[in-house]
Structure 1
Amino acid sequence: MRYFKMTRQPITNILSSFINLKELELDCGRYCSWNCLENLCLPFLQILKAKTIPGEKLASLIENTGGYLNEISIEFSLPEEINNKKIIQAIYKKCPKLKYLKSIFLGENITEFEKILINCQYLDELFISVDNLFEPDKLFEILTKSSPTSLYKFRIWNLSKPESLKLFFDNWKGRHPMSFLEFDFKNGRDFTSDLLDLIKKYKGERVIANYSFRR
């Protein structure tokens, strides 16, 4: 079996029988323990999509893959700093072939997140929400300093300090023009004509290739 989707926590260890599974989608819709993910070994897993799954269990699952994961999408995991840190650590230790990452919760784990950029040299698309970052400037600083050359596609949600973008754009000069596939502001009023003019300016300077706003 190559693909399997679960919308509820299983009452058996059915997942352990899918040793050759390539893609796993977990979408529970409500918080459950998901103890079945502990010590689950899926050595050939390439794509993992998870919604409403405890962070500790996700970290355990990623740790027990065989290094083939190239796409990880995590949504609505409980925003616990310790478990989020475990997820980040599992990714940069076990996912050298990662190309796409969607992760909502960073919190104070910015330094650990930088190790993903350093260790995952094939990463080319990053989808991240910055609404729980006290200083998004730090994230942008790390992105310009440590992103692999392959990374230039971004989806950024819930940006609360649009003024921090200018420094991000300035520091990105000389790299592959970035593509903002989706751009979202925490406060819709932060989207102003001045900001649009700023983005157009950097598009003209080939810092930005294209952009799209989420309204």
Structure 2
Amino acid sequence: MTCQLTADCLSEILEYLEEDKLTLHSCLLVNRLWCKISVRILWRNIWNFKKQKRPLRVASSILSTLIACLPNESKELLHKNNIFILPPTPKPPLFNYSAFCKVLSIYEIDKIVYSIRDKLTIETLLSDRISLITNEIIKMFTSQISSLKKLDYYYNYYCYHVNFSFDNFPGARDLLELCCESNLSSDFFYQLSQVCHNLQSISINIDNNDVSNELKELISLQNNLKNIALSAFDGSWADIIPFLTKHSDSITKLHLYSDEDNLPLSFIDLFSNLQEIIFSFPNVFEIFENFEEFEDFNREFIDFKKLQYANFSKLQILKIPFHCPKVEYVIKFLENNGKNLKKLYISRSNRDLSLSIAKFCPNIKSLYIIFKNGELDILKTIFISCQYLESVKILCGVKHLNKKEVLETIAKYSPNNFCELKIHSSSYSYVSSEVLESFFISWKNRTPKNLLTLIMIKGDYYTDLSMENMKIIEKYENLGIIKFETKWYDEEEKEEKFHYYF
């Protein structure tokens, strides 16, 4: 007799596959129960399809499926306006897909509708037709989603007029994460503040210092705010600070993004329970001809002069993925806060700064710092001083360390817990098959034995992986010595550096 899993048991098992889309898609074909549970998981957040192959085709499939799920009155309204979008199949949808969504992105809805603009005839009415489709889809989501977890409402050049209301949106009461522009209508923030008091994460793009009283009130009314991300590329977050400090005891993550170096930073000292800080200050690099000039450029970040003396006893993650404040300020900051750091990410090359990591950050587990050519001794010092280090990302190229030196140093000096090496090529950087195999043999003979995850990040440059090198890599993968990956970009770095575009 065949033993069948209960729905609850099967659901709990498939939850572990949430990030494995390929396997989840295979589960759709088992039977109706497996299909229904897999669909629920796949449709929680359907907006990350850009990571998949053929994203435009996927976007078109999502849109046609959503159109097929629209209520009859919405379909009739579209037909009256000569808008005809074919469903994915002639048959009715198997499920009410919109009800499975937990993440609602106004930006992505607008974008996928905009992507089929060439199919909407009569150019003079294009804007109205896109707006009509978008609003009918949003209206369906607000009536069908029973428990919304995340709302993205960013305005950009895709967006047309959107009618968004919380009057018939009971699922918004469960909202945990809000990502939005500061210049959305006051009515939007007012309505949201009436129904939602349990936001844990807020990300705001501040535009032209346009921060309404309703937005400030929304922030003030939250009961358990933990994560704050502020982007100010055409404005300042100064006006919103007093309303954030009300949550100074509960906020544990703070991400600040700006191209200005004179914005207030010392207020961060008020958030004594911070566990993660990201300072992302881009935009100066384009005035320089090369990266080395950019590295040596000193921006003021006047308020960081005060912040260097702050003490965050719970700080575990510090990331500065773009330009860094003055080195002496950062070193002092690490002296005060480096002891508890587990993850440090700084896009800066400076000998004193790198040595300060070995001195002040003994418990670090994950590290990215830029080493110039000839600074191999600093990497060795860090390995010897930071015995809990598990992962390191290293820039290799003409002006930085070469791969042969890095691999030899990793094999000889990396701590016992070390298990992940990311190599990012800043320029053409060759490693011979002899060097590669010698490294793998050394790693195989290490005690204790750890599976090493080796990630080659190509960036804008070609990383030499000859057929012979790939055979060696495959050999040691089969032996269980390494796990190998190649990436065009470090996904974590890309997310941090380009957060403000989304």
Give the TM-score category using the shorter length: 0.7 to 0.9
Shift of 1:63: 2.1
Is the 1:43–1:66 contact (alpha carbons within 8 Å) kept by the matching residues of 2? no
Distance 1:136 1:177, change over 3 A: same
Q: Which residue of 2 aligns with 1:67?
A: 339
Q: Match for residue 174 of structure 1?
A: 445
Alignment partner, residue 212 of structure 1: 485
Residue number in structure 1 paired with 2:304? 37
Structure (1 or 2) with the greater strand fraction? 1
Contact 1:13 1:36 in 2 (8 A): yes
The farther-off stretch of 147-156 and 36-45 is: 36-45
Size of the aligned set, in residue pairs, is 207
Q: Which contiguous aligned blocks of 4+ residues in structure 1 show a shift greater than 4 angstroms?
A: none
| Residue 14 (1) aligns with residue 267 (2) | yes
Query: Is the partner of 2:438 in helix, strand or coil?
Result: helix
Residue 422 of structure 2: aligned partner? 155
Please list every run of 5 or more consecutive structure 1 residues that lacks an aligned counterpart in the other structure. none
Change (3 A) 1:96 1:189: closer
What pairs up with 1:40-189 in 2 under 5 angstroms? 40-44=309-313, 45-50=315-320, 51-54=322-325, 56=327, 57-65=329-337, 67-75=339-347, 77=348, 79=349, 84-131=350-397, 132-133=399-400, 135-158=402-425, 160-163=429-432, 164-175=435-446, 176-180=450-454, 182-185=455-458, 188=462
Partners of 2:300 and 2:440 in 1: CA distance: 42
Contact 2:265 2:304 in 1 (8 A): no
2:295 aligned with 1:28: no
Tell me the residue number matched to 2:149.
none
**Change over 3 Å in CA distance of 1:115–1:189 after alignment to 2:** closer
1:42 shift after superposition: 2.6
Alpha-carbon deviation of 1:214?
A: 1.9
Query: Matched residues in 1 for 2:265 and 2:477: separation?
Result: 53
CA contact (8 A) 2:253 2:275 kept: yes
For residues 70 and 165 of structure 1, do their structure 2 counterparts lie closer, same or farther at Cα, with a shift above 3 Å needed? Answer: same
Match of 2:467 among 183, 193, 198: 193
Q: How far off is 1:160 after superposition?
A: 0.7
The verdict on how the C-alpha distance between 1:162 and 1:63 changes in structure 2, with shifts beyond 3 A counting, is same
For residues 444 and 278 of structure 2, the distance between their equivalents in structure 1, rounded to whole angstroms, comes to: 37
* Cα distance per residue 1:30-51 (max 9 Å; x no partner): 3532233333323422110112
Output the CA distance in 2 between the equivalents of 1:29 and 1:203.
38
The percent identity for this pair of structures is 23
Is the deviation greater in 4-13 or in 21-30?
A: 4-13
Aligned CA distance change for structure 1 residues 41 and 142 (closer, same or farther; 3 Å): same
CA RMSD of aligned residues (A): 2.3
Distance 1:12 1:26, change over 3 A: closer
- Rounded Cα–Cα distance in structure 2 between residues aligned with 1:94 and 1:113: 15
Show CA shifts across 1:134-179 (max 9, x none): 5432222221111111001111111712213233223222232311
AA of the residue aligned to 1:64? N
Q: Please state how far the C-alpha of 1:13 moved relative to its aligned partner.
A: 2.4
Please tell me the residue identity of whatever aligns with 2:319.
K
The CA distance in 2 between the partners of 1:20 and 1:29, in whole Å, is 27
**CA 1:42–1:30: 2 relative to 1, 3 Å:** farther
Tell me what 2:123 maps to.
Answer: none
3-state SS of 1:64 partner: helix
The structure carrying a bigger helix percent of its residues is 2
Q: Structure 2: which amino acid aligns with 1:36?
A: D
Q: Give, as a single letter, the amino acid of the residue that structure 2 aligns with 1:69.
A: L
Higher relative contact order (CA closer than 8 Å, sequence separation 6+): 1
Structure 2 gap segments, 5+ residues each: 1-250, 285-298, 489-502
User: Is contact 2:371-2:401 (8 Å) kept?
Assistant: no
Give how far 1:193 is off.
Answer: 1.6
The one-letter amino acid paired with 2:333 is: L
- Choose 1 or 2 for highest CA Rg: 2
Distance in 2 (CA, whole Å) between partners of 1:20 and 1:162 is 45
Q: Which residue pairs with 2:12 in the alignment?
A: none
Q: TM-score, normalised by structure 2?
A: 0.38
Alpha carbons of structure 1 residues 195 and 66: separation in structure 2 relative to 1, 3 Å: closer
8 A contact 2:375–2:401 mirrored in 1: no
Counterpart of 2:253? 3
Letter in structure 1 aligned against 2:383: L
| CA shift for structure 1 position 15 | 2.6
